[in-house]
Copies of this chain bind each other. A is one copy, B any other.
Amino acid sequence: MLLQAASPMAIPVVVLDPELTAPAKQASQPQVFPAFASSAAPLRHVDGAFTDAAKIRELAQQVDVLTVEIEHVNVAALKEVADECATTGGRSGKGIKVYPSPSIIGIIQDKYLQKVHLAERDVPVAPFLPITADSSAVSSDDPLASLVPSVLEAGEKFGYPLMLKSRHLAYDGKGNFVLRSSSPSDVRAALEALVPASSLSSPSARPLTDRLYAEKFAPFVKEVAVMVARGASGETRAYPAVETIHRDSVCHIVYAPLRPPVDPKNGVGREQRGENAVVGKSVNERAQEDAQKAIDALGEGAVGVFGVEMFLMADGSLLLNEIAPRPHNSGHYTIEACNVSQYVSHLYAILSLPLPPITFTPPAAAMLNLLGYSDSAKDDFLRPDGVVAKAVELGAAIHLYGKAGCRKGRKMGHITVLGTSDADVRTKIAQLAAVLPGSYAEPDRDADIFETSPHKPFSSNHPLVSIVMGSDSDLPVMKPAAQILTKFGVEFELSIVSAHRTAMRMEEFAHKAEERGVRVIIAGAGGAAHLPGMVASATSLPVVGVPVKASVLDGVDSLYSIVQMPRGIPCATVGINNSTNAALLAVRILSTYQPRLRKALEDYAHGLEDEVLAKVGKIEEIGWDAYEYKK
């Protein structure tokens, strides 16, 4: 994908990969680039291991800038070549740059050192401890026993379940173990899983004391990721925070942008009473800030794009989980959804170009990884009833990596969908996943958005419109709004929020609505009718107010109270009791960026015209005196 990003800009790239048929080598034929084709040494891809110093050297001789797309490289060899070529090597003979710097790749390779580095620089991470070998507990038949005291000490400190993690070569959930208790059999099972017997006898094995670390278990509510680009002159750009859904510890689905979770009990935003809960920054902003801080903390050589994985906790706080020093599958959605993809940003960064601001173009995007669920999955994906055919039908973007072989868990490709709302992209992902086998067909924790629950006919977990009213007595007046939105296929939620009786709930609802993906709020109230205006003052979303006719004053009280807002805080007011028009106004507002709704509104207008014309016909047919008007 990096080469596919370089190709439109005619940037020549040569690749070092052990396989002759590596996907990257398929995407470019550097030997026919005009500037090099006639030279004595045309550019050529290199066949060899990422860890082979001679091959790294061969690659370095052809280029001006060297980068990595996998962190499991031979850092020592890379550093050696970087030092050798710093001022005299490379294609020009004037030296090459290696981005990100080998020392940063070294820190990231050791997940324990990575955590130490981040914690020392005040990046929030889950509490952690090294697992060290206790020499007094060593026994030649049972080397693992030396690790037990350190594990129990961590368990004592952090409680159970306890995360035990390998420091090296850990990715996609490999090298993680959840230790349930301090029982000797549980501890033994964890150590045997993480430190295989074969690795103990190898002469090149790392010392046992450098193998593992322990982390306090983080009971997150969502996994979050942010791609960060950092330029050669130190500026950073963050892509939107996204939600990542894992399957067997491998990233399966990404939803962009991240929406903070909804509390199923109240349906209009999780209650959060902590510091800054109401007026604080959004989760998305905090995730972007933390991610940028983490990459800045890596220091000067942190040039390129970085994938930052985080945990969103129940109290709204974020913990950094780990960093990938390269483009990352949580950022694949950027290829179609952003003005510059993660790959373009990576190229600009390593080429010492300025980094443009990031724009996320569609309202919503999602990515489905095509994980090899079996050795034959590669062929299954391409069947006429397979996921690729479904992606063609949906107009989704198809990425097949051209890997030679398929095996369980291997990333064979991905599909990206763009959409007009969160619910729209989730529905498309559900349609794609539905043709995958077994558990792969369940795309989501929020599976209930895909079927109408009998007791929640008017409620979406991913609403574009929120209908609120001051009291349940307003429901008969507000119901037509729900019916109109249902007719137009606009996802909405409906609830009761009283300005006077649930003031905190109202503030929180209004503050969080935008972040949750809501785009228009319809608020109905009668009498003093403060709700619409109060909601309007606590959000920058358009708020449509419906004056509800109360028992006295014919609704004029409600109308004046809603329409006569002070300068600075607008409330779009419709006629008394006319929630139909409130919903139609919401649809008109959404239609400003959804052509589908524009068409539907035109059809609706023609329907109204036809209705009146039918009455014209009837009155002519049967005569005005026989015509009966039905209210």
- Which of A21-29, A156-164, A205-213 faces chain B? A21-29
A579 to chain B: closest residue by CB: B567
Q: Are A26 and B32 in contact (CB under 8 A)?
A: yes
Q: Are A572 and B569 in contact (CB under 8 A)?
A: no
Q: Taking the complex as formed, is A339 at the interface, i.e. its CB lies under 8 A from any CB of chain B? A: yes
Binary contact readout A339-366 vs B (1 if CB under 8 angstroms, 0 otherwise): 1100000001000011011111111000
Partner of A7, one of B4, B357, B480, B582: B4
Q: Are A393 and B7 in contact (CB under 8 A)?
A: no
Q: Taking the complex as formed, is A310 at the interface, i.e. its CB lies under 8 A from any CB of chain B? A: no
Interface residues on A, range: 35 or more
Q: Taking the complex as formed, is A544 at the interface, i.e. its CB lies under 8 A from any CB of chain B? A: yes
Q: Taking the complex as formed, is A113 at the interface, i.e. its CB lies under 8 A from any CB of chain B? A: no
A412 to chain B: closest residue by CB: B10
* Shortest beta-carbon contacts, A-B, top 4: A356-B395, A572-B572, A570-B581, A540-B601
Q: Are B37 and A21 in contact (CB under 8 A)?
A: yes
Q: Are B395 and A340 in contact (CB under 8 A)?
A: yes
Closest approach, in angstroms, between the C-beta of A393 and any C-beta of chain B? Answer: 6
Q: Are A542 and B585 in contact (CB under 8 A)?
A: yes
One complex includes copies of this chain to the number of 2
Q: Known: A7-B4, A9-B398. Is A559-B563 also a contact (CB below 8 A)?
A: yes
Q: Are B398 and A8 in contact (CB under 8 A)?
A: yes
Q: Known: A399-B9, A584-B568, A601-B540. Is A394-B592 also a contact (CB below 8 A)?
A: no
CA distance A604 to B568 in the complex (A): 8
Partner of A593, one of B4, B21, B563, B592: B592
Q: Are B8 and A37 in contact (CB under 8 A)?
A: no
CA distance A582 to B565 in the complex (A): 11
Closest approach, in angstroms, between the C-beta of A540 and any C-beta of chain B? Answer: 4
Q: Taking the complex as formed, is A108 at the interface, i.e. its CB lies under 8 A from any CB of chain B? A: no
A581 to chain B: closest residue by CB: B570
Q: Are B402 and A34 in contact (CB under 8 A)?
A: yes
Q: Taking the complex as formed, is A576 at the interface, i.e. its CB lies under 8 A from any CB of chain B? A: yes
Q: Taking the complex as formed, is A392 at the interface, i.e. its CB lies under 8 A from any CB of chain B? A: yes
Q: Known: A21-B34, A581-B570. Is A589-B542 also a contact (CB below 8 A)?
A: yes
